[in-house]
Amino acid sequence: MNSFERPNIRNMEGYTPGEQLLAPDIIKLNTNESPFPPTKRVGELLANFNYEALNLYPDPSSSSLREFIAEMHGLTPRNIVITHGGDEGLRLAMTTFVDPGEHCLFEDPTYSLYSVLAGIQNAKSLSIELNDDWSLPEDFADRAIKSESKLTFIVNPHAPSGRFLTAEALSAIADSTPGVLLIDEAYFDFVDTKLKYKTSEIVKNHKNVLVLRTLSKGYGLAGLRLAYLVGDEKLVAPIREKTADSYNTSKLNQELGLVALQDQDYANNVWNEIRIERNCLSEELRMLGFKVNPSQTNFILVESPEPKINAKEIYNRLRESGVLVRYFDTKRLKNAFRVTVGTRSQNAIFLEKLSVIS
Amino acid sequence: MNSFERPNIRNMEGYTPGEQLLAPDIIKLNTNESPFPPTKRVGELLANFNYEALNLYPDPSSSSLREFIAEMHGLTPRNIVITHGGDEGLRLAMTTFVDPGEHCLFEDPTYSLYSVLAGIQNAKSLSIELNDDWSLPEDFADRAIKSESKLTFIVNPHAPSGRFLTAEALSAIADSTPGVLLIDEAYFDFVDTKLKYKTSEIVKNHKNVLVLRTLSKGYGLAGLRLAYLVGDEKLVAPIREKTADSYNTSKLNQELGLVALQDQDYANNVWNEIRIERNCLSEELRMLGFKVNPSQTNFILVESPEPKINAKEIYNRLRESGVLVRYFDTKRLKNAFRVTVGTRSQNAIFLEKLSVIS
């Protein structure tokens, strides 16, 4: 036994990432990546990058990138901190706002990293089970108050169900949560534009709200690791000035992220395409007899019509036939699998394989 | 006042990075970057990079890079964890091995980030003042035992003095420190090869030693953020499996880092060049009447011949004339400045400006 680890680290389990590519011809619909490449401006910048300048440290404050993002949201650069993927943003919130022994709160089910991050910080994890339709229990805020939660995580739209919470619902929770409310908007880009939710409004109206956005999903840049937090100046300042590593964003990521964000036309086309495919795929799945949860994300939670065939077996047999979806081996999700919306042809192959199995 | 931060974060100061480039024509000898670009293989890889594949997450375990590094050191991939620059490695050691309230120990003076990281973790910082010649006091290990330090940091070669400790000296400390000994080898590449120190030997012989190496200095890749920790399997496992972010190394960094490490011929030529320039520069500084500390790094600690002119004034006047060196406004270092070894022509301009001032 290693006697050097802190006891809480020794006794915890680490986070298990979704399976990465096994073979080049596999159809990978298990980790919610974009099936489309990033804008070709990323490729052009890489091809012309002045690699010689990599000998110097990057701008520690990522100024240009933060200015552009602030403008996108109608906020100031003091509201923004750039992070090395969304996971760094989540970790920094834990480091900055939660003392060991204090409580954090999240939905159940949710992104399993939250409880791992709480474990590392030696904080206490509390979770509130979602209703049968994956909606938030009405007493969520009351229970947050009672728990004295220092950091509450809500994924919106929700993973793995795809459910969307309105700005009103989130505001009510922000008003009554005692600590910081982190709204993880990892999948926000895929929300129907008619829902008119604005990140800047909720940030402007709540001094305790921190919003996470990432370029991993909507901008096809999971391989890059680039995300950012948006929040009140006083909430963001200690993260940027104290708890984040000084050079947490490489020179490459600062420049590549900027060109990706600048090409909003390309990004919007991708998001529209995913929304259209999501709706078609949902319809086809329903026609195959599955229960399909309405999704505002780039994935769909599919419930299997037991007892005919169970979800784990579907997962295994899809995997054998070269299609990877995500199966969560937990009590609540044991009869469901999550499928990322792929390109039209990927989705067609997935449906074909699935129809043979089910 | 923001009431959300943890009290220890609220009461601490953040780390202040060295000044970054002010103007394109400035001679930047203040943050120990390499004055040479990385190998052109980095440029070639960037120019031909398949940007479309950035839509997928990177290999979370950085397998190829770890395998190559393990082989370089005659160790196994289980001895290696890749980090996002050296600072992430230092932070992860703090997160993994030090409980809030426990002690960490370091030399004084040393890299000022160590105490900042201890502050974030709410751990206690203890420092041991170096002797007048910047050597380690003989009772260093005894004081580490008494302090019950869970994590002791030694920079070797030392910053900001440039002093080198032998493997024997480090082994003696490793044997007697109660917790983990982190040897920060950020500047190791510039050590004279005749000193024959081997990282793998100290790691093989001590279950409590963690060594940090970085590509920022010796490989001209400060802008990239890539480093790694080497240590006993049991010391490295909880970092890689639990405390590090799952995708802490981007696809770009994994591939670029690998080609940079593979071109050892280029790297060795750069290191030799720096060693030669370091020796010339030291000699010239001595001839100008400065006290020059023998250096095994890519920088030189220069002490001013007070009371003729003080170091802060030298720093300011060099800055005005377009040459940036590092001045540390602390009691122990107030009569010294640190200058990074530049190219021959950068060093010549620095010496010319300095000779006019002093």
Sign of the Cα pseudo-torsion (A5, B177, B157, B108, in order)? positive
B40-262: CATH topology is: Aspartate Aminotransferase; domain 2 (3.40.640)
Q: Residue A1: is its pLDDT beyond 50?
A: no
**A20–B56 C-beta distance less than 8 A:** yes
What pLDDT shows up at residue B22? 65
Q: Are B214 and B85 in contact (CB under 8 A)?
A: yes
Residues 290-349 of B with CB under 8 A from A: none
A189 lies within 8 A of chain B by CB: no
Q: Is B68 on the interface with A (CB under 8 A)?
A: no
Identify the pLDDT of residue A305. Answer: 76
Name the CATH superfamily for B17-37+265-357: Aspartate Aminotransferase, domain 1 (3.90.1150.10)
Encoded tokens for A165 = 């919470």
**B308/A190: higher pLDDT:** A190
- Picking from A84, A95, A208, the nearest residue to B84 by CB comes out as A84
> CA of A1, closest CA in chain B: separation in Å?
8
Residue A206 pLDDT: 97
Q: Which residue has the tokens 């030799």?
A: B272
Q: What's residue B21's pLDDT?
A: 65
The whole-number pLDDT of residue A22 equals 65
What integer pLDDT is reported at residue A306 of this predicted model? 64
Separation in Å, CA of B33 to nearest CA in chain A: 6
Nearest to B222 by CA among B38, B24, B25: B38
List pLDDT tens digits, range A329-354.
888 898 999 999 999 999 999 999 99
Chain B residue with Cα closest to A208: B4
pLDDT value of position B307? 59
Question: Are A223 and B251 within 8 A, CB to CB?
Answer: yes
What is the overall mean pLDDT for chain A? 94
Distance CA B104, CA B88 (A): 17
- Find the mean pLDDT for residues A245-268: 97
ω into B58 cis (within 30 of 0) = no
In terms of DSSP H, where are the helices of chain A? 7-10, 40-47, 63-73, 85-97, 113-120, 140-147, 167-176, 199-205, 233-238, 251-262, 264-287, 311-320, 344-357
Distance from CA of B176 to the nearest CA of A (A): 14
The closest CB to that of A235, out of B4, B38, B49, belongs to B4
> Least CB-CB distance to B33: which of A5, A56, A120?
A56
A160, A188 Cβ separation under 8 angstroms = no
Distance from CA of B226 to the nearest CA of A (A): 9
Residues of B in Cβ contact (< 8 Å) with A221:
54-55
Q: Do B5 and A238 touch (CB under 8 A)?
A: yes
Q: How far apart are CA A274 and CA A341, in angstroms?
A: 7
Q: Round to whole Å and give the CA distance between A288 and A291.
A: 9
Q: Which of B54, B95, B122 is closest, CB to CB, to A42?
A: B54
pLDDT in tens, A302-313: 998 765 678 999
User: What pLDDT does residue B1 have?
Assistant: 45
Contact A278, A190 (CB under 8 A): yes
Contact: B235, A4; criterion CB under 8 Å: yes
| A96-154 tens-digit pLDDT | 999 999 999 999 999 999 999 999 999 999 999 999 999 999 999 888 889 899 999 99
How many other CB atoms are there within 10 angstroms of residue B132's CB atom?
7
Look up the CATH number of domain A40-263. Answer: 3.40.640.10
Chain B (72-131) residues lying within 8 Å, Cβ to Cβ, of chain A:
84-85, 87-88, 91, 95-100, 113, 116, 120, 122
Task: Decide if B47 touches A, using CB distance below 8 A.
Answer: yes
- A7-36+265-357 sits in which CATH class? alpha beta
The parts of chain B modelled with pLDDT lower than 70 are: 1-2, 21-22, 306-308
Q: CA A336, CA A17: separation in Å to the nearest integer?
A: 18
Chain B: nearest CA to A31, how far in angstroms? Answer: 8
Domain range annotation of chain B: 17-37+265-357, 40-262
3 state SS for A33-56: CCCCCCCHHHHHHHHCCCHHHHHC
Query: What pairing do the DSSP bridges indicate for beta strands A180-184 and A151-155?
Result: parallel
Whole-Å CA distances, A246 to A67, A189, A234, B116, B117 = 18, 29, 18, 11, 11
